[in-house]
Structure 1
């Protein structure tokens, strides 16, 4: 089954050329089927790149997905054309009365700030509460995951002395989890952050279940069944060149940056990087979509009233 996107969204042609099944909104409206409604609250500066990355992953499942692009109501982006935002994104205040089967909250380049100093923190708190009444299952990614786990459970984030940057080995801590179906015992995940949550502080919360972790970079994926949420502190969704683009940008700007760990062949930035996480990225988001499909109410008005 395809993912439903506006035909003039840049991701439509990109994914269609990659062989991902995509469907225009007009054709989707004629389908006698209830698609899963998945929202993407996109907090990243490069909106088009981020929406394409997530659409690629959730569009690879056998189910029909209706992707809704959402932005913060109280914040105007400066890195994406206003015309793109106006045409394809809706402010959260406009969707606050609606129900979603799933929601992805992305990272944001504000991790150095205390949560309370983020200009749109009050709206984020409203959104976190809204996920408990209007969203069946939520995935928070990087800053989005750290902010959610802090808001719901008080787990703090800690500033790192050096940026965690590269592809780090991780362990599968819960092979029986349905979210890790098909996962190997260890895997690589791209990491790019200046902050971390710490394993012992996650372990101190009885309601949280660690699923993936790294000896080098700490927790990577945590399940929160009581909140119907998953917290992903690293970046399954990254393209092959995303870390390269970050590295090249910082080099050009003269910033102190190390070559991303275990990313380039022989750690040589002159060589093209190799993607060794793509299969696990598709597995994770496919498993998440499958769990939503099996447990979400057919009557969307009952979302938020029934547990997974």
Structure 2
């Protein structure tokens, strides 16, 4: 089954060209099934790139997905056209009375700030609490995952001396997890962050770590009590996303004079003139497909029941 997107959304044309099944509202209305209602709270500055990356992953399963793009109510983006935001995004204040099968909270390039110093922190706390009554399963990504760990469990984020930047191998620490169904013993995951959460502090909070690395620390964390997953790295990245960040940092370096590190394990032979190879795409599709499958198996058919019964509906 395809993902339902407005035909004028840039992701619609991109994914159609890639062979991803997409449908518009008119075609979807002819199918007599209940699609999974998934929200994307997009906190990244490059909204179109990010919405396309996540739509690609959640649109690759046999399930019909209805994607809702969500923004903070009073925070104006400076990197995406106002017309795009008004046409395709809904503020949280408009959707807070609705129920969702799943919600993705993206990262944000504000790692250097304390959580409480973020301009929209109060509303984000409201959203995280709202997930407990209105969302069946939540997926926090990078800074979004760290924010949820901080809010629900007081797990701190720590600033790093150098940026974790590259494509790192991670170990499968819980092969029996339904979220890692089909995963290899190791997988490569893109990493790009200046902060970390530490394994001992995550384990002290009673949270199982599903994927991790001795170099980059915890990667995928499950939070059964809050029906959530937290991934601190970027399976959703395109093949050239790390290259774009590297090129941007090189350009900024001409002004700031900071030393720019080559992304680890990314360019063939560590040669930035060569085209980087995507070594994470299959596991990215597995992870998000497994997440959606778990939602499909456990979410109530009657959406009014979402958030009322926190037990696993599979028994």
Q: Secondary structure at the match of 1:195?
A: strand
Other-structure match for 1:90: 90
C-alpha distance in 1 between matches for 2:246 and 2:286: 27
Which residue does 2:202 correspond to in 1? 202
Question: Which among 240, 264, 282 is matched to residue 261 of structure 1?
Answer: 264
Matches within 5 A, 1:1-308: 1-206=1-206, 208-254=207-253, 255-307=258-310, 308=312
User: 1:306 Cα shift?
Assistant: 2.1
Counterpart-to-counterpart distance in 1, 2:134 and 2:293? 19
Given that residues 74 and 123 in structure 1 are in contact (C-alpha distance below 8 angstroms), is that contact kept between their aligned partners in structure 2?
no
Shift of 1:256: 2.8
Aligned residue pairs, count: 307
SS of residue paired to 1:253: helix
SS at match of 2:237: coil
Q: Deviations over 1:112-168 (max 9, x none)?
A: 000000000000000000000000000000000000011000000000000000011
Q: Give distance in 2, aligned partners of 1:250 and 1:274.
A: 20
Tell me, in whole angstroms, the C-alpha distance in 2 between the residues paired with 1:69 and 1:306: 26
SS of aligned partner of 1:220:
strand
Map Cα deviations across residues 146-201 of structure 1 (whole Å, 9 max, x no partner): 00011000000000000000011110000000000000001110000000000000
The normalised TM-score by structure 2 is 0.97
Superposed CA offset, 1:198-246 (max 9, x none): 000001012x111000000100000000100000000000000000000
For structure 1, the residue ranges without an aligned partner over 5 or more in a row are none
Q: Distance in 1 between matches of 2:49 and 2:64?
A: 22
Secondary structure in structure 2 of the residue aligned to 1:62: coil
- Distance in 1, matches of 2:244 and 2:291, equals 28
Report the RMSD for the aligned CA atoms in angstroms: 0.6
Is contact 1:297–1:306 with CA below 8 Å preserved after alignment? no
TM-score by length of 1: 0.99
Report the more deviating stretch, 248-257 or 12-21. 248-257
- Work out the CA distance in 2 between the residues paired with 1:269 and 1:305: 52
Runs of 4+ in 1 over 6 A off after TM superposition: none
Q: Is the 8 A contact 1:250 1:256 kept in 2?
A: no
- Structure 1 SS opposite 2:66: strand
Alpha-carbon distance in 2 for matches of 1:210, 1:159 = 20
String of CA shifts for 1:260-281, please: whole Å, max 9, x gaps. 0000001111100000000000
Rounded Cα–Cα distance in structure 2 between residues aligned with 1:44 and 1:24:
25
Query: Secondary structure of 1:234's match?
Result: coil
Shift of 1:252: 1.0
CA positional deviation for 1:74 = 1.7
